[in-house]
């Protein structure tokens, strides 16, 4: 139901660690990264003995694209939701003992021989199989076999009649990646073994390791790669016996700040691991999770507590890692020093079971762990101030006062992620926030899909994990539009640069639903919930509502069916803390009239439930050649509404602000909620003035007057 964005048939053989660090990494050999399917079907005829991978040649040199043929075509299968109750009932029905854990159900593994089922304490059975309560996916800690809930059922039921076992196994890093990992690891050296002390000191200063001891670096196995001037963090197998991957962290000075660039081998979506996992003992019951390896070093040295670093920072907590965290009774999440890290910590706590999680709130006296160490703060004392992630349904202001203070102290971060391509949208909406519902409409042929794709792409390039549900146009066509917008130019005229842009586009946290045409709202919501859990989706785009209403059998009344769907999206956005952007066609009206909030098709429920209402006005459809402009007719965050012009660039399929427009931004500022009229510029394509009363928008008299043109 969900597919990762894939442009082209293969991956680039090598890529630089980042555009900002190209000069610093010029001396580094090529990091070969090849794409491969997340899982392959392997029949099991006996006890599983090891990973399987097809070796491929390894060559150094300039970046080259390697083409490979997939062994099996991807199958589009629906996501069948499974509940924890169904998992327990199935295990009981088949006489399989189990233990109910925090986020997983533990059971004896059917993929391990009877001789291996005894654990170190001599117990009759070792509960080494972990089944995710939300998705049903399983992982055997002994054999490292994993697969879906259906795979587990097929394996269990196939044992009785002698059928051949089959299980989906995650593919290990390919031979090419494994050789490159080992090559880099052998080339890297510990910091204290660098021949020049000045170089070692410079590296410590660049990465903020002046107070981290050599003993700490030695315990975690951290090394330094001289050609790339990068730290090398190893990813070992759960037993700590084999090197499975690496993360390279490069640093480059930008003024008085340091810009860090990460490179992982294998690629982030193909292999997940926790930095520091080999140092965890079975007897450990408490752990601190961080978003950076450097923070884990600081915490371990200062507190002596077990610490683990998430592989993708605050971007995602892959469910595949949950079994490794099941043994802990208490998990403290200290992910950073900004509001975005705080939001990620609350989201991750839902997966880990909030009852065992505590969160370190960002603040002046509670920065990131490495910064706290460098400032001489007491990290153990900061950990003791961690707030519980779970509370009862009713709370008092005493429990909320710190969160209120956090939002007041970080006004810009509380406003959400700001757009880089639409500065006037930032002045009105202030930012893109989780848990909100945005309704977007516009006349047929005005460019709704083109605008909303750039709108979402802008956020995606800033790390907002995005799920696209395009029910009207195909994913291939949508991806082509977004890739053109991403490259800001026609790639058909410069195909020699296609691979470069496609590789960069493929690294975005962008996913697509495979639906097309009319779909049931229940199926769509289930898919969205699955995406939020697995990929930590923060933004869902539905284009468009009318194409989803064909299968609704709740009522013959089309308006009632639409109201039900909008209510379902509103509930999903609130419960999942995920922003939903809903594209709705307007009702049929006279061509000479501009669209208003009441022009949205259906009843008033769409505008009532929405936190934001955006209208793409197109004067070309009324008076001939003219300018389009975007109208923000509802803004629940702070009440600012208004309009600003757009200009469409046909070659790049992007919208931009007309550079010579004098009346760029019109906002409502008077106490009666009326648009402040200004004299028209008298030029062709000027933004028309609106004198409509918005009773639901209450301006803030304490805000500065922003009604003047920004230019």
Compute the distance between CA of residue 221 and CA of residue 241 in angstroms, rounded to an integer. 13
Q: Residues 6 or more apart from 695 whose CB is under 8 A from it? A: 673
Mean pLDDT to the nearest integer, 371-379: 94
Higher pLDDT, 454 or 445: 454
Please give the biggest Cα pair distance in the chain.
88
**CA distances from residue 502 to 322, 479, 505 in whole angstroms, order as listed:** 32, 10, 5
Mean pLDDT to the nearest integer, 166-170: 37
Q: How confident is the model at residue 78 (pLDDT cuts 50, 70, 90)?
A: very low
Mean pLDDT to the nearest integer, 371-376: 94
Mean pLDDT to the nearest integer, 634-640: 91
Which of these, 580, 551, 550, lies nearest to 566 by C-alpha position? 580
Compute the distance between CA of residue 711 and CA of residue 658 in angstroms, rounded to an integer. 11
Q: How confident is the model at residue 32 (pLDDT cuts 50, 70, 90)?
A: very low
Q: Decide: residue 16, CB within 10 A, 0-12 exposed, 13-18 middle, 19+ buried.
A: buried
Contact 201, 207 (CB under 8 A): no
Q: Is the pLDDT of residue 557 over 90?
A: no
User: What per-residue confidence (pLDDT) applies to 444?
Assistant: 84
* H runs (alpha helix) in 80-160: 84-93, 149-160
Q: Please, what is the angle between helix 498-506 and helix 475-487, to 10°?
A: 110
User: What per-residue confidence (pLDDT) applies to 50?
Assistant: 32
First to last CA, the chain: 46
Q: Which of 173-182, 595-604, 627-636 has the highest mean pLDDT?
A: 627-636
Higher pLDDT, 699 or 444: 444
Contact 654, 486 (CB under 8 A): no
How many other CB atoms are there within 10 angstroms of residue 680's CB atom? 12
Q: Is the pLDDT of residue 627 over 70?
A: yes
Q: How confident is the model at residue 175 (pLDDT cuts 50, 70, 90)?
A: low
Which of these, 471, 451, 462, lies nearest to 614 by C-alpha position? 451
Contact 206, 84 (CB under 8 A): no
Domains located in the chain, CATH noted? 1-36+173-271 (no CATH), 84-170 (no CATH), 284-414 (3.40.1360.10), 427-667 (3.40.50.300)
Q: Is the pLDDT of residue 156 over 80?
A: yes
Q: Is the pLDDT of residue 168 over 50?
A: no
Q: How confident is the model at residue 165 (pLDDT cuts 50, 70, 90)?
A: very low
Q: Which of 263-267, 483-487, 592-596 is the least confident region?
A: 592-596
Helix (H) or strand (E) segment spanning residue 383 = helix 379-384
Mean pLDDT to the nearest integer, 579-590: 87
Compute the distance between CA of residue 619 and CA of residue 638 in angstroms, rounded to an integer. 28
Q: How confident is the model at residue 49 (pLDDT cuts 50, 70, 90)?
A: very low
pLDDT in tens, 415-451: 889 999 999 999 999 999 999 999 999 888 888 999 9
Q: How confident is the model at residue 675 (pLDDT cuts 50, 70, 90)?
A: very low
Q: Is the pLDDT of residue 381 over 50?
A: yes
Q: 428 is written with which tokens?
A: 């009105």
Q: 209 is written with which tokens?
A: 């390791």
Mean pLDDT to the nearest integer, 637-664: 78
Mean pLDDT to the nearest integer, 311-326: 91
User: What per-residue confidence (pLDDT) applies to 484?
Assistant: 94
Per cent of the chain over pLDDT 70 is: 72
User: What per-residue confidence (pLDDT) applies to 403?
Assistant: 73
Contact 348, 333 (CB under 8 A): yes
The total number of residues shown for the chain amounts to 711
SS (H, E, C) 235-255: EECCCCCCEEEEEEEEEEEEC
Please state the φ and ψ torsions of residue 388, each to the nearest 5 degrees: -65, 140
Contact 207, 231 (CB under 8 A): yes
Averaged pLDDT of the chain: 77
Compute the distance between CA of residue 640 and CA of residue 612 in angstroms, rounded to an integer. 10
User: What per-residue confidence (pLDDT) applies to 246?
Assistant: 92
Which of these, 435, 440, 436, lies nearest to 613 by C-alpha position? 440
Residues facing 529 on adjacent strands: none
Q: Is the pLDDT of residue 2 over 80?
A: no
Mean pLDDT to the nearest integer, 325-340: 93
Compute the distance between CA of residue 330 and CA of residue 288 in angstroms, rounded to an integer. 9
Mean pLDDT to the nearest integer, 365-373: 92
Contact 190, 203 (CB under 8 A): no
Higher pLDDT, 480 or 627: 480
Mean pLDDT to the nearest integer, 681-685: 41
Residue with tokens 């555009």: 19
Contact 511, 16 (CB under 8 A): no
Q: Is the pLDDT of residue 302 over 90?
A: yes
pLDDT in tens, 233-267: 998 877 667 888 899 999 877 777 778 888 888 87
Residue with tokens 């975007």: 630
Compute the distance between CA of residue 621 and CA of residue 592 in angstroms, rounded to an integer. 8
Compute the distance between CA of residue 270 and CA of residue 410 in angstroms, rounded to an integer. 35
Half-sphere exposure of 302 (CA within 13 A, CB side): 24
Contact 433, 415 (CB under 8 A): yes
**CA distances from residue 109 to 125, 154, 155, 162, 220 in whole angstroms, order as listed:** 9, 14, 11, 18, 31
Residue with tokens 């999770």: 289
Q: How confident is the model at residue 120 (pLDDT cuts 50, 70, 90)?
A: very low
Per cent of the chain over pLDDT 90 is: 41
Mean pLDDT to the nearest integer, 465-484: 93
**CA distances from residue 150 to 128, 136, 224, 580 in whole angstroms, order as listed:** 19, 8, 44, 30
User: What per-residue confidence (pLDDT) applies to 67?
Assistant: 32
Contact 137, 319 (CB under 8 A): yes
Mean pLDDT to the nearest integer, 218-228: 93
User: What per-residue confidence (pLDDT) applies to 483?
Assistant: 95
Contact 40, 171 (CB under 8 A): yes
Contact 630, 614 (CB under 8 A): yes
User: What per-residue confidence (pLDDT) applies to 691?
Assistant: 34
Please state the φ and ψ torsions of residue 217, each to the nearest 5 degrees: -60, -35
Q: 116 is written with which tokens?
A: 């291996």
Compute the distance between CA of residue 694 and CA of residue 328 in angstroms, rounded to an integer. 53
Higher pLDDT, 368 or 408: 368
Q: Is the pLDDT of residue 188 over 60?
A: yes
Q: Is the pLDDT of residue 377 over 80?
A: yes
């Amino acid at each position: 139901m969900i597919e990762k964005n894939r442009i082209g048939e293969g991956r680039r053989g090598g890529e630089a660690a980042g555009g900002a660090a190209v000069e610093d990494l010029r001396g580094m050999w090529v990091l070969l990264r090849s794409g491969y399917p997340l899982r392959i079907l392997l029949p099991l005829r006996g006890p599983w003995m090891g990973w399987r991978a097809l070796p491929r040649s390894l060559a150094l040199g300039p970046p080259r694209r390697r083409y490979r043929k997939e062994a099996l075509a991807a199958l589009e299968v629906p996501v069948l939701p499974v509940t924890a109750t169904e998992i327990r009932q199935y295990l009981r029905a088949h006489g399989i003992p189990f233990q109910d854990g925090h986020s997983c159900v533990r059971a004896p593994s059917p993929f391990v021989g009877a001789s291996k089922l005894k654990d170190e304490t001599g117990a009759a059975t070792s509960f080494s199989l972990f089944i995710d309560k939300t998705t049903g996916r399983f992982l055997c800690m002994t054999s490292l076999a994993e697969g879906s809930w259906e795979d587990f059922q097929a394996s269990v039921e196939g044992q009785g009649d002698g059928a051949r076992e089959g299980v989906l196994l995650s593919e290990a890093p390919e031979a090419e990646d494994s050789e490159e990992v080992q090559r880099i690891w052998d080339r890297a050296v510990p910091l204290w073994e660098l021949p020049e002390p000045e170089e070692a000191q410079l590296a410590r200063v660049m990465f903020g390791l002046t107070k981290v001891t050599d003993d700490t670096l030695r315990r975690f196995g951290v090394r330094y790669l001289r050609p790339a001037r990068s730290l090398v963090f190893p990813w070992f197998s759960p037993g700590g016996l084999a090197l499975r991957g690496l993360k390279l962290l490069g640093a480059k000075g930008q003024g008085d700040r340091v810009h860090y660039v990460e490179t992982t081998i294998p690629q982030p979506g193909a292999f997940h691991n926790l930095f520091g996992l080999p140092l965890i003992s079975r007897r450990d019951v408490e752990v601190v999770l961080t978003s950076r390896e450097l923070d884990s070093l600081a915490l371990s040295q200062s507190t002596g507590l077990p610490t683990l670093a998430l592989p993708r920072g605050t971007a995602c907590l892959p469910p595949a890692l949950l079994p490794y965290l099941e043994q802990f009774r208490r998990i403290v999440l200290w992910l950073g020093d900004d509001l975005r890290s705080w939001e990620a910590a609350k989201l991750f706590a839902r997966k880990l079971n909030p009852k065992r999680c505590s969160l370190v709130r960002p603040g002046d006296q509670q920065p990131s762990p490495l910064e706290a160490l460098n400032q001489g703060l007491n990290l153990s004392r900061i950990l003791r101030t961690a707030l519980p992630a779970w509370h009862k349904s009713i709370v008092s202001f005493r429990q909320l006062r710190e969160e209120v203070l956090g939002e007041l102290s970080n006004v810009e971060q509380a406003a959400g992620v700001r757009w880089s391509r639409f500065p006037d949208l930032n002045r009105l909406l202030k930012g893109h926030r989780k848990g909100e519902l945005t309704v977007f409409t516009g006349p047929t042929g005005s460019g709704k899909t083109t605008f909303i794709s750039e709108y979402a792409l802008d956020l995606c390039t800033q790390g907002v994990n995005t799920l696209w549900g395009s029910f009207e146009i195909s994913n291939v066509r949508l991806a082509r539009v977004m890739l053109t917008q991403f490259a800001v130019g026609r790639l058909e005229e410069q195909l020699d640069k296609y691979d470069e842009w496609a590789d960069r586009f493929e690294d975005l946290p962008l996913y697509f639903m495979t639906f097309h045409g009319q779909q049931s709202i229940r199926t769509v919501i289930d898919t969205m919930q699955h995406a939020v859990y697995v990929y930590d989706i923060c933004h869902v785009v539905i284009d468009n509502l009318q194409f989803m209403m064909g299968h609704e059998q709740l009522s013959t009344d089309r308006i009632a069916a639409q109201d039900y769907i909008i209510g379902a999206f509103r509930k999903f956005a609130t419960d999942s803390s995920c922003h939903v952007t809903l594209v709705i066609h307007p009702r049929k009206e006279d061509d000479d009239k501009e669209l208003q909030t009441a022009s949205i098709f259906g009843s008033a429920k769409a505008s009532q439930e929405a936190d934001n209402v955006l209208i793409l006005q197109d004067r070309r459809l009324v008076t001939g050649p003219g300018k389009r402009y975007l109208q923000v007719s509802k803004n629940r965050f702070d009440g600012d509404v208004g309009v600003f012009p757009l200009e469409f660039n046909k070659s790049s399929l992007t919208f931009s602000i007309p550079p010579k427009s004098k009346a760029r931004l019109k906002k409502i500022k008077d106490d009666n909620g009326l648009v402040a009229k200004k004299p028209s510029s008298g030029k062709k394509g000027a933004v028309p003035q609106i004198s409509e009363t918005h009773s639901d928008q209450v301006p803030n008299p304490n805000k500065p007057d922003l009604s003047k043109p920004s230019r």
